[in-house]
Structure 1
Amino acid sequence: MQVNFGVLGPVAAWDEAGDALTLKGPRHRAVLARLLIARRRVVPVSRLVEDLWAEPPAEAVGAIRTFVAGLRRALEPDRPRRAPSRLLVTEGPGYALRPAQDEVDAWRFEHSVNAVAELPPSQVVDRLTAALRSWRGPAYADFEGEPWTRGEGSRLTELRLHAVERRAEAQIALGTAAEAVPDLDAHIAEHPWREDAWHLLVLALYRSGRQTDALSVVRRARRMLSEHLGVDPGPRLRRLEADILQQADHLDPGPGGSAAQVWAQAAAAYESTVSSRARTRLESTAGLMRTLAVTGGGGLEAARRHRVAAVAAAEQLGDPELTARVIGVYDVPAIWTRSDDPDQARWLVGAAERTLHRLPAEQHQAGRGRLLATIAVESRGTLPTEPAAPGAGARAFQAARQAEHIARRLGDASLLAFALNGVFMQSFHRAGLAGRRDAIGTEVVSLSALNDLTTYEVLGHLIRLQSRCALSDLSGADRHAAAADALAERYELPLVSVFTTWYRALRTAMTQPLPAAEAAYQDAAVCLDGAGMPGLQRGLLPLALLSLCVRHDTPIRMADRHDWGPYEPWVRPLLLVSEGWDEGAREALRGIPSPPRDLLFEALWCFVAKAAVAVGDQAVIQRAYSQLEPASSELAGAGSGLISLGPVSGHLAVLAAVLGRR
């Protein structure tokens, strides 16, 4: 049973259905609160005794054990008698509570506040509003006066105050300053010593057209600070007052600041100038969608949707040259080998093929190159699985090579970067090609840096991050993760952090004990929410946790309630083996298709191989050995930059032993 814990208010716990668990008396809740404050670390029994009693009774240690036993019954009611607890564990001299990162409201809140640092204002407002709703009262409200809650309670309270102010700042930046005023007013009434809050309230009032009220608040702040603290307002608040009196232009640049004002003016000029020019509008729309796609979340989803509409509209006009430009301008780098929307990808490939057929054969070479690169990139994950029909999948591979040839002949750097992205997407025809992909990434980084192709420079670093992982070079992967993050921060590319965060979780999984690895993956999974990449998101977290079980050779406890997404056919046999249903596993292995030839090809074969060994399926063992052998020098799955099942050579050794090979 999954248990969620609440400390942002009275200490509480809820089951999966959201029903409150009965935690008995205040001492039981005190033990629970003390263990939650420890954040998964062990708290010695002696420390629990000191914290719970000013003058401990003689039977204090026994009482602690009774409280722990009661908590275990409440938190894990279905646990068999004498079975060890998986949540409230005994370890060394004391106890530790081991919930997942997203199962404690304070931990979720802290992650949400830290995660908005690089987000645009609209996402900051949405995420912080949702996060602030989790507060039901003061942190650890039942034990607010206890010495052992003081530090953590103060820290969480400060974090909440910061979140309120950060949200107000984002609202002001969005041009919705009036919405920030009521919350800021209440915030200041509760915490009158926070000068940043006074500054935000004054600015919000002024931006709402309430200049007189803004100046009145400045006077109120001055009086309060003088009477109670004997100090004057700080320089920021004094400068703001002077600027209001002078009605300084920079105080009211319009919604979203000066950049938003420039955008609004340019949009108005565009609207009035090209309102009836359908062809120009379609090309402009496609260009905007390219920019929108790298913003992540709803932006990526909207970009995909509007891109298809723009291509369809261009085709309806019957102008193949225009359609080629509308398709080709969307050269958004792609690093993940599974499509977010396979049906849409197939439609775009068809549109590109139709447009290629209609373009004059010897003209528009750059346009033809972009159409070919589009075919190669959008055909990701479609390489044939075994057994492959003669020539199957050759079209996308051929398109990638043709696009590369055209780009090199024309000396077109941006087209070459796009074409190499297609070559990368078609470089999975067998296992063990991390070295080849590393060479592609090296050229993409060099080419992009020389030609200011920022998004492709990021792509090159991510390709190299993946390939260095596969080749066991974590220091090299670290360098490319840092380079990608630096570019993403400088050029506002939020999706990059999804891949670098997951890489760091993988690094933890490869170098740290199992509990740290599990926690790292749980934390990494949070950044997938709202990223707009279902092709990456579905099934990834349970797959990562399963990989840890395999690497550490620990019992597999993966409930059916997990969404395994597209990976289900290749993990199902192993899950059945873990449940003791060997016959079901044999049935699932019978005729099992080869996994898609993509970044997780080797990892999925290793899952299948482990199940096949467990039930003695010689035919599948032979297939797995043949498919994995070319990758004998790589780490299974690490080429994804997300998960790993350890060296492929180790899996091959097990398979070879079963097959009777040396």
Structure 2
Amino acid sequence: MRVKIGVLGAVAAWDEAGDPLALKGPRHRAVLARLVVAHRRVVPVTRLTEDLWDDPPARAVGSVRTFVGDLRRALEPDRPPRTPSRLLVTEGPGYALRAAKEDVDAWRFEQTVDALADAGPERVAAGLGEALGWWRGPAFADFGDERWLRTERARLTELRLHAVERRAEARIALGEAAATVPGLDAHVTEHPWREDAWRLLALALYRSGRQADALSVLRRARAMLREHLGVDPGPRLRRLEEDVLRHAEHLDPGAGSGIDDVWSRATAAYESSLGSRARTRLESTASLMRDLAVTGGGGLEAARRHRVAAVAAAEQLGDPELTARVIGAYDVPAVWTRSDDPEQARWLVGAAERTLRLLPSGGHDATRCRLLATVAVESRGTLPADESAGGAAARPLRAARQAEEIARGLGDPALLCFALNGTFMQTFQRAGLAARRDAVGAELVALAARHDLVRYEVLGHLVRVQARCALSDPAGAGRHASAADELAARHDLPLVSVFTTWFRALRTAMTGPPDAALAAYADAAGCLHGSGMPGLQQGLLPLALLSVRLRHGLPAGGPGDLPADGSGDRSGGWGPYEPWVRPVLLVGEGRIPEAARALRDVVPPPRDLMYEAMWCLLARAAVAVGDRALMARARTALAPAAAEQGGAGSGLITLGPVADHLALLADGAPD
């Protein structure tokens, strides 16, 4: 049964038919509310007792467990006895609410507002109109001024007020100015400190042909702000009053408004000032692509495409210094070690190396550093078989070391962060280097935080999420995931949640039962669609589900019996992992001779974040078929990671402790 939970009003729950569920007393509803506030994160039992009682009684922990048990029976009445809850789960020291975002009205409301951030006025007006209808009263209306509730209630209230104003702005843009006036008038009466609400009311009045009323509203706003806050109106209100007095053209119903108008005028002015200055245009394009890449899936794909075009155009001009600046401007932090477009990455590496050879020998240290860092970052997952190898295979590793050395000598924090990103991408010479990557992540976090380099601070936290998982520290990884999420929310970096969502699925896989882990991964897969990261997405869900099955001794299965992911997709291809997965699947189906033949043909896995995971798969298959040569190679490859979790350095999956695989290899080895 699917349950809907509501906190936009009194705390309540309903079944699939829309009938209310009995949640018993106020303490039960308080536990549910507290878990909603945690946003799917675990709330320790001790924290629950502190939040529910000012002075917790002696049996407070037992009471909380009783409340949780009662809630589980109310929310999952059809759950068989002695089976774990899939909605209100026990994890580590506490509990978490693992409802889908669309099943909790506050989460659904926030998701809807975020999804409409860049939408046109028609979608905004319709979508926010529906979403605002979900509010039945003040958020968590049946609770007082609880300290654990203050921040979340204030945040949701601000989000609702923002949605009211955005919807009104969209309706004004659609020519419905007169219809918005009554609602905006009530809105400013109830919330007189919101300058944007006053601005929208005055604009709606003006577009309704009521210029005098618009001016009156603006003067009321000025008087209220001065009298009660002792401040003058902000620049937008002052500018609107001037525009109303002079009947500015852009106030007409057909003209652009707000952010769209500012953007249009600014870009037009920029186009006009640049004229045909190709070099300046190319550098500006490269900088724009850097910002576009972090906006989400479509932006990331467009940034990659236009970046190549900009570099190619710069090379055609025959100016290596310009080409170097265009290449080096794209210092977008990268945390995943498989390229989204390998052919494009190889081309960019080639362009960077050509430009390095053409640069004048004297000076240009910072430019040279950026080119070397680009080589290191874009050559992800292509390290040679051993560190001493020469030729083209060793170049990315040398480039990373040279870039870091130059950046440290120059003392440029942003440049050093870029170089450290390259260093991270090349710290896969062998298995067992999670502690080294953790140190790189720690330096990135500290350096970026000191110099307000937010994107690299996020990168450092994500690197540490991966490393702490490999080092069997899910709690430490969780702290870094939360820090990354907080920065991403504050600075509008939507792709970060892809990695933190998958980390939380991994944490469930590390600590929870197989059913919970399989469900968590199926849910997490939904955030991959539209992310613009095929190098991460391809084959990941099947691999994650396989990792759970193998760890718990379940049948390995195959792509055909995968559950649908968050998008309903059941295709389930193994993607780039197929060569190392196939032998395990064949063993699981009892096709030992075919598995042995597949192992004879298999090549070593790439040296990237999945390196240990792929060797763990090969180790299992080699033992099953008795391939002694491959068992010896697997022992050599995995031995340096004996203290780590196999595959968990990805921050996405785990096949369990590497030590267990080494023991399996030892047991399967000949005397």
TM-score w.r.t. the length of structure 2 is 0.68
Cα pair distance change 1:35/1:509, threshold 3 Å: farther
What secondary structure, in the 3-state scheme, does the structure 2 residue paired with 1:332 have? Answer: coil
Note if contact 1:445-1:457 (Cα within 8 Å) is conserved in structure 2.
yes
CA RMSD of aligned residues (A): 5.1
Residue 634 of structure 1 pairs with residue 630 of structure 2: no
Is the aligned partner of 1:364 residue 2:364?
A: yes
CA distance in 2, matches of 1:644, 1:404: 31
Q: Does 1:618 align with 2:647?
A: no
What residue in structure 2 maps to residue 349 of structure 1?
A: 349
The separation in 2 between residues aligned to 1:36 and 1:556, in whole angstroms, is 41
The one-letter amino acid of 2:208's match is Q
One-letter code of the match for 1:548?
V
In structure 1, C-alpha distance between the alignment counterparts of 2:120 and 2:21, rounded to whole Å: 27
Q: Secondary structure in 1 aligned to 2:528? A: coil
Q: Distance in 2 between matches of 1:548 and 1:215?
A: 68
Q: Which amino acid aligns with 2:629?
A: A
The answer to whether structure 1 residue 271 and structure 2 residue 271 are counterparts is: yes
Native 8 Å contact 1:7 1:33 kept in 2: no
| Residue matched to 1:452 | 452
| Farther off after superposition, 115-124 or 520-529 | 115-124
Superposition deviation, residue 602 in structure 1: 0.6
Look up the SS of the partner of 1:91 in the other structure: coil
CA contact (8 A) 1:116 1:124 kept: no
Work out the CA distance in 2 between the residues paired with 1:606 and 1:481: 26
Change (3 A) 1:121 1:256: farther
Which of these residues, 101, 108, 122, is aligned with residue 118 of structure 2?
122
Contact (CA 8 Å) 1:470, 1:638: kept in 2 or not? yes
Match of 1:404 in 2: 404
Q: Which amino acid aligns with 1:615?
A: V
Which structure 2 residues correspond to residues 485-524 of structure 1 after superposition, within 5 A? 485-524=485-524
Q: Tell me the SS of whatever aligns to 1:527.
A: helix
Query: d(CA) in 1 for partners of 2:607 and 2:288?
Result: 32
- Check whether the contact 2:122–2:174 (CA below 8 A) recurs between aligned residues: no
Could you tell me whether the CA contact under 8 Å between 1:125 and 1:167 is conserved in 2?
Answer: no
Aligned to 1:45: none
Give CA-to-partner distance per residue, 1:593-613, whole Å, 9 cap, x none: 111110011111112222222
Question: Are the counterparts in 1 of residues 596 and 627 from structure 2 also a CA contact under 8 Å?
Answer: yes
Q: Distance in 2 between matches of 1:551 and 1:126?
A: 49
CA deviation profile, 1:153-203 (whole Å, cap 9, x unmatched):
xxxxxxxxxx99998865666x67555969x99xx9xxxxxx99xx99x96
Q: Does 1:303 align with 2:303?
A: yes
Moved more, 633-642 or 104-113: 104-113
Q: Does 1:92 align with 2:81?
A: yes
Shift of 1:336: 0.5
Residue 604 of structure 2, aligned match among 590, 594, 604: 594
Could you tell me how far 1:118 is from its partner in structure 2?
A: 4.3
Retained in 2: the 8 A contact 1:339–1:345? yes
Cα distance, 1:96 vs structure 2: 10
- Which residue matches 2:667? 657
CA distance in 2, matches of 1:482, 1:269: 41
In structure 1, C-alpha distance between the alignment counterparts of 2:657 and 2:3, rounded to whole Å: 42
State which of 206, 211, 217 in structure 1 corresponds to 2:208. Answer: 211
Structure 1 position 589, deviation (Å): 1.6
1:606 aligns with 2:616: yes
Name the SS for the 1:554 alignment partner. Answer: coil
What SS does structure 1 have at the residue aligned with 2:645?
A: coil
Residues 650/105 of structure 1: CA separation in 2 closer, same or farther (3 Å cut): closer
Whole-angstrom distance in 2 between the partners of 1:126 and 1:522? 33
8 Å contact kept, 1:203–1:214: no
Provide the residue aligned with 2:11 in structure 1.
Answer: none
- Structure 2: how far apart are the matches of 1:460 and 1:302? 25
Query: Residue 601 of structure 2: SS of its match in structure 1?
Result: coil
Once residues 455 and 308 of structure 1 are traced to their aligned partners in structure 2, the CA distance between those partners, rounded to angstroms, is 22
- Cross-structure match for 1:292: 292
Query: How many Å apart are 1:585 and its aligned residue?
Result: 2.0
Q: Return the match for 2:593 from 562, 583, 606.
A: 583
Instruction: Confirm or deny: 8 A CA contact 1:469 1:635 kept in the other structure.
Output: yes
Deviation of 1:371 (Å): 0.6
Alignment correspondent of 1:565 = 575
Q: Select between 109-118 and 593-602 the one with higher mean Cα deviation.
A: 109-118
Measured after TM superposition, the shift of residue 389 of structure 1 is 5.9
C-alpha displacement of 1:514? 1.9
Task: Map 1:49-198; keep pairs closer than 5 Å.
Answer: 91-92=80-81, 113-119=109-115, 121-122=117-118, 177-178=172-173
Deviation for aligned residue 1:433: 0.3
CA distance in 1, matches of 2:603, 2:318: 42
Calculate the TM-score normalised by the size of structure 1: 0.69
Rounded to whole Å, the distance in 2 between the matches of 1:630 and 1:639 is: 14
1 CA distance for matches of 2:387 and 2:332?
32
Unmatched 5+ stretches in structure 1: 9-30, 39-87, 139-162, 189-194, 217-242
1:211 counterpart letter in structure 2: S
> After superposition, where does 1:380-395 map in structure 2 within 5 Å?
380-385=380-385, 390-391=390-391, 393-395=393-395
1:621: Cα distance to partner?
2.1
**Residue matched to 2:548:** 548
Query: Bigger shift: 268-277 or 337-346?
Result: 268-277
1:249 CA displacement? 7.6
Find the counterpart in structure 2 of residue 62 from structure 1. none
Distance 1:265-1:106 versus aligned 2 partners, 3 A rule: closer
Question: How far did residue 444 of structure 1 move?
Answer: 1.4
Instruction: Give the number of aligned pairs.
Output: 547
User: Does the CA-based 8 Å contact 2:338-2:381 persist in structure 1?
Assistant: yes
**Paired residues of 1:124 and 1:167 also in contact (CA < 8 A):** no
Q: Decide whether aligned partners of structure 1 residues 172 and 632 sit closer, same or farther in structure 2, where only a CA change above 3 A counts.
A: farther
Q: Which deviations, in whole Å up to 9, do the C-alpha atoms of 1:291-327 show, x marking residues without a partner?
A: 1111121111111111111111111111111111111
Query: Residues 518, 127 of structure 1: CA spacing in aligned structure 2 closer, same or farther, 3 A cutoff?
Result: farther
Cα offsets for 1:62-108 (capped at 9, x unmatched): xxxxxxxxxxxxxxxxxxxxxxxxxx99833999999xx99999659
* Paired AA for residue 592 in structure 1: V
The 3 A distance-change label for structure 1 pair 567 and 124 is: farther
Alignment of 1:417-432 (within 5 A): 417-432=417-432
State whether residues 121 and 171 of structure 1, in contact with CA within 8 Å, keep that contact through their aligned partners in structure 2. no
Q: Deviations over 1:253-273 (max 9, x none)?
A: 989975554433322221221
Of 356-365 and 573-582, the range deviating more from structure 2:
573-582
| Shift in CA distance, 645/407, structure 1 to aligned 2, threshold 3 Å | same
| Structure 1: distance between partners of 2:423 and 2:116 | 33
CA distance in 2, matches of 1:486, 1:471: 24
Of 412-421 and 382-391, more deviation after overlay is shown by 382-391
Does the C-alpha gap of structure 1 residues 562 and 390 become closer, same or farther in structure 2, counting only changes over 3 Å?
same
What's the CA shift string for 1:15-53, capped at 9, x where partnerless? xxxxxxxxxxxxxxxx99799999xxxxxxxxxxxxxxx
Partner of 1:340: 340
Q: Give the CA deviation at 1:344.
A: 0.8
Query: Which of 467-476 and 550-559 deviates more?
Result: 550-559
Residue 435 of structure 1 corresponds to which residue in structure 2? Answer: 435
- The sequence identity of aligned pairs, in percent, is 56
SS of the residue corresponding to residue 480 of structure 2 reads: helix
Aligned-residue offset at 1:384: 3.0
* 1:647 counterpart residue number: 657
Q: 1:517-536 maps to which residues of 2 (within 5 A)? A: 517-536=517-536
Contact in 2 for aligned 1:172/1:180 (Cα 8 Å): no
Rounded Cα–Cα distance in structure 2 between residues aligned with 1:379 and 1:105: 37
Residue 352 of structure 1 aligns to a residue whose secondary structure is helix
Instruction: Tell whether the 8 Å contact from 1:521 to 1:541 is kept in structure 2 after alignment.
Output: yes
- Structure 1 residue 439 displacement after superposition: 1.2
